[in-house]
Amino acid sequence: MAVTMKDIARNCGLSSGSVSQVIRNPDNPRFSPATRKLILETAARLDYHQNSLSCALRTSKTRLIGLMLPWNEPEVMDNIERIVSENGYKLLIQFTAHPRPGMEQAALQSFLSWNVEGIIWEPSSLENASCLPLLERIHKEKRPLILLERGVNGMDFPLVRTDYTPALNVAVSHLKDQHYRKVVFAVSKSSAPIMKTQCEVVRGACRRMGLAFHTCQLDVASPDLSGQIRHLLSGEKKGDTAYICFSWLALNFIEEMEALGLSAPDDLGLVLYSDLLLGGRYRFSEIVRPKLTVVRSVCSILAESAIRFLLSEIRHDDPRGLPESTHYAELFINQSTKRN
């Protein structure tokens, strides 16, 4: 097996306790320079390396951070990993894209069993009743936990989220300026629950501005997604309607529009909700044609502020600091709704 401190101690004719001291603090004035040199040299010679397990068990410092996301969002994931890594921590990962019941609870439990020093969690949905007792415990033990995007019931953990409200309001007003008369908010069935608030924001904005409003939940998993969309698109009066599509759904709309010979912005408008940064440089809304008007949040900043706050919580037990930090999404107007 691997070289341990005991091995070094034996080689030097010292005790493992002394070895520990010197290795943890090579400039320790408690030991004579000769001893220190001897210990460090034999450590190097034997190719000694710390055993993180025992070290963590002993000190309760694991330098581990648990990250649970509903899917692999590169913009969030990459940033968090980079910063975590720069600070000497390692990431324990769990995605919840394919949720089994109790999965998030189990993952939290597993994080705790590894004694992670902090957790960043973007809950995959709004209801997490099964996680409540666990969260209660996390709260009581003061283990730092940052929630992303969605809070959990009554629990008051720091929440780092994006507020889409202002941008959505501006978007609707923009659509009215462009003489659209009706707005359809399209989401996938699975993401519908977490889009409810935003949906209401748009509904409200439409009412105030005198636009008609509809929601539309599509079954993304169905083989007949095309059919659903085609049906939707072909039933409209030309030029009247603007669609707000959540995430990738916009792509399906574009494809069906091509098939039906419809084009944005004239025959209909298309607004992307939640852009994605791809390959670290390119935005989804910019690489498709037509380029999409988009309500976009900068996830990288969100991620960065979450992880930095987590790290500061870990370092000093500062009870102060942000209880909730909100980033605002912005509207970027592009070809898909810009009528001359």
Partner DNA sequence: CTGTTAGCGCATTCAA
Partner DNA sequence: TTGAATGCGCTAACAG
Residue number with CB closer to a second copy (200 or 255): 255
Burial call 126-157: b when 16+ CB within 10 Å, e when fewer: eebeebeebbeebeeeebbbbbbbbbbeebeb
Structural contact between residues 159 and 322, judged by C-beta atoms closer than 8 angstroms: no
Q: How far apart are CA 159 and CA 70, in angstroms?
A: 16
Q: Are 96 and 128 in contact (CB under 8 A)?
A: no
Amino acid identity of residue 249, one-letter, is L
CB of 289 within 8 A of CB of 258?
no
Residue pair 183/206 in contact by the 8 Å Cβ criterion: yes
| 1 lies in the site for DNA, by CB under 7 A | yes
Asked if residue 33 lies in contact with residue 58, where contact means CB atoms within 8 angstroms, the answer is no
**Considering Cα of 62, then 68, then 74, then 75, what sign does the dihedral take?**
negative
5 binds DNA, rule: CB under 7 A: yes
How far apart are CB 10 and DNA at their closest, in Å?
Answer: 11
Query: Are the CB atoms for 146 and 152 separated by under 8 Å?
Result: no
Report the residue number, 75 or 149, with the smaller CB distance to a second copy: 75
260 binds DNA (CB under 7 A): no
- CB nearer to DNA: pick between 172 and 314: 314
Applying CB under 7 A, does 326 fall inside the site for DNA?
A: no
Encoding tokens for residue 244? 């707000």
Judged by CB under 7 A, the residue of 37, 40, 57, 144 near DNA is 57
Q: Is 32 in the site for DNA (CB under 7 A)?
A: yes
CA distance 178 to 338: 7
User: Judged by CB under 7 A, does residue 140 bind DNA?
Assistant: no
Binding site for a second copy (CB under 8 A): 1-2, 47, 49-54, 56-57, 62, 71-72, 74, 77-78, 81-82, 85, 90-95, 97-98, 109-110, 112-115, 133, 137, 141, 247-248, 251, 276, 278-282, 284, 287-289
Which segments of 211-321 does DSSP mark as H helices, in order? Answer: 225-234, 249-260, 284-287, 299-315
Q: Which does 280 bind (CB under 5 to 8 A by kind): a second copy, DNA, none?
A: a second copy
Residue 112 interface partner, choices a second copy, DNA, none, CB cut-off 5-8 Å depending on type: a second copy
Decide: is 21 part of the binding site for DNA (CB under 7 A). yes
340 binds, among DNA, a second copy, none (CB under 5 to 8 A by kind): none
6 binds, among a second copy, DNA, none (CB under 5 to 8 A by kind): DNA
Per the CB < 8 A criterion, the answer to whether 54 and 44 are in contact is: no
Q: State how far the Cα of 24 lies from the Cα of 137, in Å rounded to an integer.
A: 33
- Distance in angstroms (rounded) separating the CA atoms of residues 336 and 174: 12
Considering only residues 27, 34, 100, 154, which one is a binding residue for DNA as defined by CB under 7 A? 34
Query: In the bound complex, what is the minimum distance in angstroms from residue 191's beta carbon to a second copy?
Result: 12
Please tell me whether residue 4 binds DNA under the rule CB under 7 A.
Answer: yes
CB of 63 to DNA, least distance (A): 12
- How many distinct helices (H) and strands (E) make up the chain? 13, 14
- 26 lies in the site for DNA, by CB under 7 A: no
Q: Which is nearer to a second copy, 143 or 182 (CB)?
A: 143
Q: How far is the CB of 110 from DNA (least distance, A)?
A: 14
Among the listed residues 27, 29, 86, 279, the single contact to DNA using CB under 7 A = 29
Residue 114 or 328 with smaller CB distance to a second copy: 114
Write the DSSP assignment of 230-261 as a string of letters: HHHHHTSPTTTEEEEEETTHHHHHHHHHHHHT
Question: Judged by CB under 7 A, does residue 17 bind DNA?
Answer: yes
> Does residue 64 interact with DNA by CB under 7 A?
no
Judged by the rule CB under 7 A, the positions of this chain that interact with DNA are: 1-2, 4-6, 13-18, 20-21, 23-24, 29-32, 34-35, 50-51, 54-55, 57-59
